[in-house]
Chain A
Amino acid sequence: MKKYVLLLALAWPVLGIAAEPNCNTGGEVPLQLMEQELTRSFKILKKQNPPIYYLSYTYKEGENAFLSVAYDGVADKSVNPVSSAEVMARVGSVKLDNTHALRGERENWILPVWSAPVPDPSDPKGFLTAWWKGTQQAAEDAQRDFSRVQSNVRSMAVVRDQSDDFVFPPKENYCRTEKLQKIDLTQYEDMLKEASRLARGKKFVLNASFSVSAEQGHRYFADSRGTRLKTPFSFFRMAYQFSGRGKDGLEISRDGIYDVLSPQDFPSREKLLADVKKSLQELEELSNAPEGDPYNAPTILKGRAAAVFVHEVMGHRLEGYRLKNAGDGQTLAGKVGQQVISPLITITADPTQTQFKGEPLRGHYEYDDEGVKARPVTLIENGVLKNFLMQSSPIEGFPVSNGHGRKQTGRRAEARMSVIRATASQTVPYERLEEMLVEEIKRQGKPYGFIVEDLGGGFTLTGTGLPQSFKLEAKRVLRVYPDGRKEVVRGLDVVGTPLVSFNKILAAGDDDTLFNGSCGAESGWVPQSNIAPSLLFENLEMEKTQKSDFKPPVLPAPDAEEEGK
């Protein structure tokens, strides 16, 4: 029994607990009403010319709570109920429909669908009328868009990938209800205020903010193929950020983020205060640090930084729909079965995972935004390209969705990342990785190399109009000298191109680290998780970060002046 418990304890953080259905879609009032209006509408819409051949409704109800604190005061505190509807209509046929990418038209970049707040379903008339209005608008828009698609296809250059625009998602029926967790924002006020007071009198702090947020509720989905879903969602986060600005306009920041499964798991007061103190020390250290210079040198991307790197540099290029968009760089087109990155690395996407080392995964979901069951996918295995992230829009060789059609409310779904994980076939303890970095610096005869301890985010360019490059905002960079000495520097960003950078990986640590975040792309902002070990690169290029045009304020902060008196 002991062994079993131990195994469970080891396995549980990685795999999470599989959820079970616990209700019946037929007994859910919102789904009953959605089905009633969807069925009534679709009978008529499918006979129109051109026909609406697929229709789906998404309804979200729940609650968003937010508390923001700064400088010993509450800046924002709200608990807002959520009740929103979305209608997606497809006009034409699976071969060619209104979602087909238009060539030469910029407005095609953003992909809106009809969405609006709706009244409570407890009174059917208001609820049904809202869906009726949305359906009418969605159908009109889709017919208009389809005409444009037909004209565009006739007149513009032929695209390489002639796959259909849609594949019907398999019919699903799943119902799971979770009781919304109570969150009393008031109980966090004192704790966050106390933490905010730690920044008092610190001249290097220009801005500070602390927050607690909770989003929870249920998503209902119904489509004209008979899928009926009810799934819960919940995100709880505590976060803080400090920023400062040097006389040269260079901005610096440190932050802390705690994603938890339940408000009870938020950090204790002691833990939060200790972390805040550490971040303030790091910010002060950064404020006194020399400015780094552009350089190409051996580099370690540590934990969270490596996770962001995998996401930006390779993750977006594994989103399948980009391969049939003529305006996209299609870095990985035609490379299935080929070695595309270092053979050391395997990359998977698994939205069915719920937790990692006890931390919830924001990228977890049971069904994607097109009603397709989430499933794990091996994208790159030992450096060889195997698969893509797929929505219900086929590409050559990949005819069906693998449950990665995702979007924010009001946008059309596209293949997006969920829980992206990079693993290495061989790992070393992190301390050894640093030793290997020093050895590599010496081997190359470089004056120094880098350890990037934290990346704040970044972007990657995938369009053909611009270089297929990336830029990652380094929040904390150490210059490492051949004698092993380390020095914090500021003002550097990591830049490069994907195929070159990913082939420069020499070794990986055994310190898999999670970075939970939100990612913005054509289909909007989606919650997302990235896991990676620290990675040692033969070299990575650093360039100067953008500076503010402004000096720090002329007068010291009021509290800093008073501390100085």
Chain B
Amino acid sequence: MKKYFYLLLIALACPLGAGPLPDNMFFRAMNDEMQRTQKQLRVKGSPKPYFTVYKVTAVTSQTFSAQFGAPYASPKEPETWLQAAVYMYAGDAKDNSSGFVNNMYYFEPAQITSVPASYEGLRRMLWQATDIKYVAAGDSYAKKMAYKRQKNITDDLPDFSKAPKASYVRDITPFPKVDGQPYQQLVNELSAMGRKLPYLENFAASLRMRQQDIYFLDSEGDFYQYSRPSCSLNLSSSLRNKDGYKENLTENIPLECFQTPDKAELRAETEKFLARLQDMYRAQKAEPYLGPVLLEPKAAGGFFNQLFVRNANNSKPLLSAQAETDGTAGQFKDKLGMRVISHLLDVYDRPQLREYKGRPLPAFMPLDDEGVEAQELQLVQGGKLLALPTIRSLIAGQKQSNGHARMSGRTLPRAALTHVFFTPRVSVSDAELEQKLLERCRELGLEYGYIFPRFAQLKDGTGEVNFAWRIYTADGRKEPVYGLRLEGVTTRSLRDVLAAGADEEVSVFTDNTTMLSFAVIAPSVLVDEIEILPTQRKPDRAPFVPLP
């Protein structure tokens, strides 16, 4: 915890008032085109540009991979590319084109890939994308006004609220020259460890180093510039378990970027991964179960991501003439002040945190993508929903944005969480938590309970967990189980958290629709009731030919 406070203080100590634009090619090109856009871009009869955003990202990436000790061919030099995103609202502060889409599930991409790395190239790409966005904004504005008249929408909320000018600038350190040989050697060695389990059909290790240098400018003069490095080791394997079910397992281990990895530590992590594969191979199939489940930190991360984070995001529904409701809007938008989660938990979002417990966080954001300082939020206190992430297009009861507009090439700026902390008001040790699980099972007359290392990917409350531990009430014995189909898991389950541990871990996720990354930091939690049925998947035949 100490480290966390220290880092938070550093972040808060950096003032966010606007200063001079950094003098580099990116800002020169963005600023010159922005001036032209705001002053000259007009079509007679269409609203003028009101708010324009330019975001340029320089990405550098290098990967080393191997399977069973054999290296995959990889480029000698890191790959580098530039991409740019443009967004624009047309109209004015009261009424503008924001928040209206032609199609609820497909937003016109705001991203340009393969941008030439020159002032002229950047200007050209921004010019063309701005023009496309201006045409789209004019179209959205007209349709939005017509829709509001048709639906008699007469709220007085402005479409775009004021915010103090803000900026954040950090020097960009170039992606370092990497001697690939030691990294390749490392992944060769780690992937060769998979040879000791003869039933593995694949065992690969992949080490990725990546740096994103981000440059942002909006038409109100807000700007930011910083680097976001991310490095990790990915282990992946596949096998057919003893009953013939094909199973895949992956593990992502964060690394300190551009530092020599601790080989012994990574070997130990790989050993742990192999141990899980061994358990997975010998596991028995799940049987019907209704009762308490202990979610280890990574499983708790998945549980909270799907039931809480998704429902807290997109707090302002989009409007569209094609659909009456916005299916992407979170369910919590109407639940402010209500109990949405167990009273044992407080929930925070901390966008300005760069790392936590030595692990880099994926969504560090000093300013949001509408140029507003990204604020720390207490979302939940004692189970009650206090706040939601918001943007400059206001929702009822809100006076200004709390700086949570996030955009990507796949989405327009929408309210989204960044680093979500689930903090127990009272925590217990791992052993106590396990005891609480067993006690609860005994109360319910159950022969055993479950411990999940990972959670399911839910769809309509249903999903599969491919590995769990069954723990027996009689003697605390644990047995591995596969093929657990979860049924009826809804936001109701958030209120069923009975206890929480002190063993919090960072779980990183990427939204499949927006491709935005975020983190959930959660401890183990005991959930009172989850319904489990055996998987409906069918086993595969044994391989025709034995493994070489």
Interface on A for B, CB 8 Å cutoff?
Answer: 37, 40-41, 44-45, 48, 61, 68-83, 117-133, 135-136, 139-140, 200, 206, 550, 553-555, 557-559, 561
Using CB atoms, name the residue of chain A closest to B75.
A80
Main secondary structure of the interface of B (DSSP, over half): mixed
Contact for A558 among B72, B116, B123, B134, CB less than 8 A: B123
Complex-state Cα separation, A514 to B179, whole angstroms = 45
Q: Which residue of A lies closest to B191 (CB)?
A: A126
Decide yes or no: A554 and B43 within 8 Å by CB, A74-B117, A75-B116 being known contacts: yes
Do B70 and A119 touch across chains, with their CB atoms under 8 A apart?
yes
CB distance from B197 to the nearest CB of A (A): 12
Query: In this complex, what residue of B is CB-closest to A553?
Result: B131
| Across-interface contacts of B201 in A (CB, < 8 A) | 129, 133
Q: How far is the CB of B513 from chain A (nearest CB, A)?
A: 26
Q: With a CB–CB cut-off of 8 A, which chain A residues contact B544? A: 41, 44-45, 48, 136, 139
A436 to B477, CA, bound (A): 95
A135 to B79, CA, bound (A): 32
Contact of B33 among A68, A135, A554, A558 (CB under 8 A): A558
Closest approach, in angstroms, between the C-beta of A491 and any C-beta of chain B? 22
A75 touches B202 (CB 8 A): no
Instruction: Give 5 new A-B contacts, CB below 8 A, not counting A75-B81, A79-B76, A81-B74.
Output: A74-B118, A129-B67, A550-B135, A554-B42, A561-B36
B window 80-100: CB within 8 A of A: 80-82
- B 121-165 contacts with A by CB, 8 A: 121-124, 127-128, 131-132, 134-135
Q: Check if B70 sits within 8 Å of A120, measured CB to CB.
A: yes
Assess the B116–A125 pair: CB atoms within 8 A.
Answer: no
Tell me, in angstroms, the Cα distance from A559 to B29 when the chains sit together: 12
The residues of A that contact B127 with a CB separation of less than 8 Å are 553, 555, 557-558
Per DSSP, chain A at the interface is mixed
Residues of B that sit less than 8 Å from A by CB: 32-33, 36-37, 40-43, 66-77, 79-82, 114-124, 127-128, 131-132, 134-135, 188, 191-192, 195, 201-202, 541, 543-545, 547-548
Contacts between chains A and B (CB distance < 8 A), count:
146
Contact A73 B118 (CB under 8 A): yes
Pick the 8 closest A-B CB pairs, nearest first: A126-B70, A73-B118, A73-B116, A81-B73, A123-B70, A119-B70, A73-B121, A553-B131
Q: Could you tell me the distance between the alpha carbons of A557 and B122 in the complex, rounded to whole angstroms?
A: 12
A125 touches B41 (CB 8 A): no
Separation of A469 and B134 alpha carbons in the complex (Å): 40
- Asked whether A555 and B131 contact (CB < 8 A) given A37-B548, A120-B72, A126-B68, the answer is yes
CA distance A200 to B43 in the complex (A): 25
Q: Judge whether A74 and B68 touch: CB under 8 Å.
A: no
Q: Which residues of B sit under 8 angstroms from A68, Cβ to Cβ?
A: 114
Are the CB atoms of A71 and B70 closer together than 8 Å? no
Contact B118–A71 (Cβ < 8 Å): yes
Docked pose: A558 CA to B126 CA in angstroms: 10
Inside 8 A of B543's CB, which chain A residues have their CB? 132, 136
Q: How far apart are the CA atoms of A141 and B398 in the complex, in Å?
A: 57
Q: What CA separation (Å) do A117 and B67 show in the bound complex? A: 11
A130–B545 CB distance below 8 A: no
Give Cα A526–Cα B544 distance, bound, in whole angstroms: 33
Q: B115 — which chain A residues lie within 8 A by C-beta?
A: 75
- 26 CB contacts below 8 A, A to B, read A41-B544, A45-B545, A68-B114, A71-B124, A72-B120, A73-B118, A73-B121, A75-B81, A75-B115, A82-B73, A83-B72, A117-B73, A122-B71, A125-B70, A126-B66, A126-B68, A126-B191, A127-B70, A129-B548, A131-B548, A132-B543, A136-B545, A140-B541, A555-B127, A558-B36, A559-B124
Closest to A136 in B: B543
CB–CB A120/B79 < 8 A: no
Q: Once bound together, how far apart are the Cα atoms of A71 and B115, in whole Å?
A: 10
- Please judge, given known A-B contacts A71-B118, A73-B121, whether A119 and B71 are in contact too, CB under 8 Å: yes
* Contact B120–A200 (Cβ < 8 Å): yes
Q: Considering the chains assembled together, what is the distance between the CA atoms of A68 and B117 in angstroms?
A: 11
Query: Contact: A129 with B202, CB < 8 Å?
Result: yes
Which residue of the partner chain, among A117, A129, A206, contacts B68 with CB atoms under 8 Å? A129
Complex: how many Å from CA A198 to CA B131? 24
Q: In chain B, what residue has the closest Cβ to A206?
A: B128
Instruction: Looking at the assembled complex, report how far the CB atom of A215 sits from the nearest CB atom of chain B, in whole angstroms.
Output: 14
Name the distance in Å between A129's Cβ and chain B's nearest Cβ: 6
With A37-B548, A126-B66 as given contacts, are A117 and B72 in contact (CB-CB < 8 Å)? Answer: yes
Assess whether B548 is in contact with A83, with CB atoms less than 8 Å apart. no
Closest A residue to B77 by CB, please name it: A79
Expressed in whole angstroms, the Cα–Cα distance for A557 and B67 within the complex equals 49
Q: Which of B37, B70, B116, B545 contacts A41 (CB under 8 A)?
A: B545
**Cα–Cα, bound, A555→B131 (Å):** 8
| A70 to B112 CA separation, bound complex (whole angstroms) | 14
Taking a contact as CB atoms under 8 Å apart, the answer to whether A78 and B75 are in contact is: yes
Contact B69 A74 (CB under 8 A): no
Option from B67, B123, B548 in Cβ contact (under 8 Å) with A119 = B67
Q: Assess the B124–A557 pair: CB atoms within 8 A.
A: yes
CA distance A45 to B74 in the complex (A): 34
Give the Cβ gap from B165 to chain A, nearest Cβ, in Å. 26
Complex: how many Å from CA A127 to CA B118?
42
- Interface centre among B36, B73, B118, by most chain A C-beta atoms within 10 angstroms, is B73
CB pair B71–A123 under 8 Å, yes or no, is: yes
What is the chain A residue whose CB lies nearest that of B542?
A136
Q: Which chain B residue lies CB-closest to A37?
A: B548
Q: Which chain B residue shows the least CB distance to A45?
A: B544
Determine the chain A residues whose CB is within 8 A of the CB of B36 once the complex forms: 555, 558, 561
* Inter-chain contacts of A40 with B (CB < 8 A): 545, 548
Nearest-CB residue, chain A, relative to B129: A553
Check A123 against B116 for contact (C-beta < 8 Å): no
Q: Is the CB of B69 within 8 A of A125?
A: yes
